[in-house]
Structure formats: C-alpha cells, structure tokens
Structure 1
Amino acid sequence: MAKNTGKGNKSKSNEEVFAGFQNLRSEQRQLANKISELEMDLNEHKIVIETLRGVEAARKCFRMVGGVLVERTVADVLPELEGNRDRLPAALQALNEQLARKGQEINDYIERHDIRVQRGADSEPAAAAAADTKTNVLAASA
C-alpha cells in the first residue's frame, strides 16, 4: 500500500490513479471487443439462416454446441438459430449502453483526478507545461 502523508485517505498516489485509469480503459476495451464479437455472430447467424432456408428440413446438418459438434436436422437447428438471431440485438444494445456508461465513467474519473491524456510525440511541450502545475498526466501511445 502507498502511504498518504498529510493528505488524508481520499488522496491517491499517481500510480494508483494511473492504475485505476488503466483498469477502466481495459474494461472499456473488453466491452468493445465483446460488442464486435456479437456483431460478427449476428452476421454469421444471418448467413447460416439464409443458407439453411434453401435446404430441405429433413437434411442433416452439424452444429457446434459448447465445443462439441452435434448432428441434427435442419428442422431442429433453424428455429434455434432464429431464436439466437432475435436475441442478439437486445444483447448488443445492452452492451452498447454499458460501453456508453463506461465512457462516461472514464470521463468522470479523468475530471475527478485532473488527468490530461497525451498522445504521440507532439505531447512533449504540453508535458513541460504540466510540470509547472499539480496535475496527473498520462501519456498513451497511439
């Protein structure tokens, strides 16, 4: 644990502030990755459903369920795929709302801890100016 001398328990060290910021950014990236993954799943579901609609219902097909390849018929698989396809937009909407809230949480964290995020090599003059004032500065590579 870092010592907070004379500033009380509310004060955090620069390392703690940076770690908190990095944690929030990591959570934001995970949400964005999950959204991307679900969007790809939705597109794959649409393609497979469109393909299976042109096939006779008694024809056998294979489906991956929990890492296991299962043999079924088109008549069994198609309703399941359509149900999944219908539920994916709601899940995507919920994740997009979480992503928006996480972005707001990051902005609040930046404001609360007086953080200035700098990107790239052009940030060096701003870093020199920041040395004169008491603020937290994060430099992120693009």
Structure 2
Amino acid sequence: MATTHSGGVSGSGKPLTAEQVVAGFNRLRQEQRGMASKAAELEMELNEHSLVIDTLKEVDQNRKCYRMVGGVLVERTVKEVLPALENNKGQIHKIIESLNTQLQTKGKELNEFREKHNIRLMGEEEQKQSPKESGDGPGSKPSSAGVLVS
C-alpha cells in the first residue's frame, strides 16, 4: 500500500530529510488530534440530543416547543420535533463510528510512519532503551540513527 503523503521517498526519488520526516509526522499527529477533537465534540452533541429526547418523551406530544433552525428559533410541537431529533441523533452516532474507524486507521498509519523512519518521542527514548542498553554508559548514543520529535 503506497501512500504519497507519508511515503519514505520524496517525489524526486531522494530519501526524505529529517525535517521532512518530522513535518510529515507532525502533520499525521495533527490530523489524528483533529479527528479526536471532532469525535469528542460530536459525543457531547450526542449526549445533548439524548437529554432533550428523554425530556420530550415525557411531555404531551401537542405541547409547544422551540427549535433552532439555521440560527432562527421556530415554534413547533413535540410530535414534530421529536422524530427529527431522533433522526439527528442516529446520524451523529453514525458519524462518530466513522470517525472512530478513521482515527484507528490514522493511528496505525502514524505508528507505521514512526517505525519506518525510526522516530522517537521526547522522554520515550530512556524508557525503551534502558533494558537494551543496560551495559552502556549514561552518555552513550543508540546505534541506529533516528529522528527525535518533541
């Protein structure tokens, strides 16, 4: 599976520079954070829909209620609004599921990119190298070259 945005070789056939690797890694991390943020926002909206639906189920179906439509507050009845809210809730749930799937895929892509380019995060190197390099001195460097990202 070749991906043009995270591949190991630039368009000219030359290996990526450390700066290009870091930029690519940071871009992937930012995309992952954006997806996670959107998923969290939609989860909150889903919870709000659930609260309103639960409240409206307990009241008279002919009772007036108000709904914001395109920035305008419109008067409706509970029986008109409730099905629309339930439909919206279902749509939001589907979007969250899709985002979670995309988030998992992006996480795998990020991990593959890290492994391919030997990327280590700040603070991570001491934890992973300690068991392997127990005989080395504290000032020794790892034998394989890699990119350190903060």
Shift of 1:119: 3.1
> What residue is the counterpart of 2:109 in the other structure?
105
Q: Which runs of 5+ in 1 are unaligned?
A: 1-7
CA distance in 2, matches of 1:73, 1:108: 53
CA distance in 2, matches of 1:130, 1:60: 71
Alignment of 1:33 with 2:33, yes or no, is no
> What residue is the counterpart of 1:66 in the other structure?
70
Higher helix share: 1
> What residue is the counterpart of 2:48 in the other structure?
44
Shift of 1:42: 1.2
2:149 paired residue among 127, 138, 142: 138
> Aligned residues: percent identity?
46
CA distance in 1, matches of 2:16, 2:71: 45
SS at match of 1:100: helix
> What residue is the counterpart of 1:4 in the other structure?
none
Runs of 4+ in 1 over 3 A off after TM superposition: 128-133
CA distance in 1, matches of 2:111, 2:36: 17
Higher normalized contact order (CA 8 Å, seq sep 6+, divided by chain length): 2
TM-score (norm 2): 0.75
SS at match of 1:90: helix
**Which amino acid letter does the alignment assign opposite residue 75 of structure 1?**
K
CA distance in 1, matches of 2:106, 2:71: 32
CA distance in 1, matches of 2:140, 2:27: 27
Shift of 1:73: 1.6
Shift of 1:82: 0.9
Alignment of 1:17 with 2:6, yes or no, is no
Q: Which runs of 5+ in 2 are unaligned?
A: 1-11, 131-138
Aligned residues: 131
> What residue is the counterpart of 2:100 in the other structure?
96
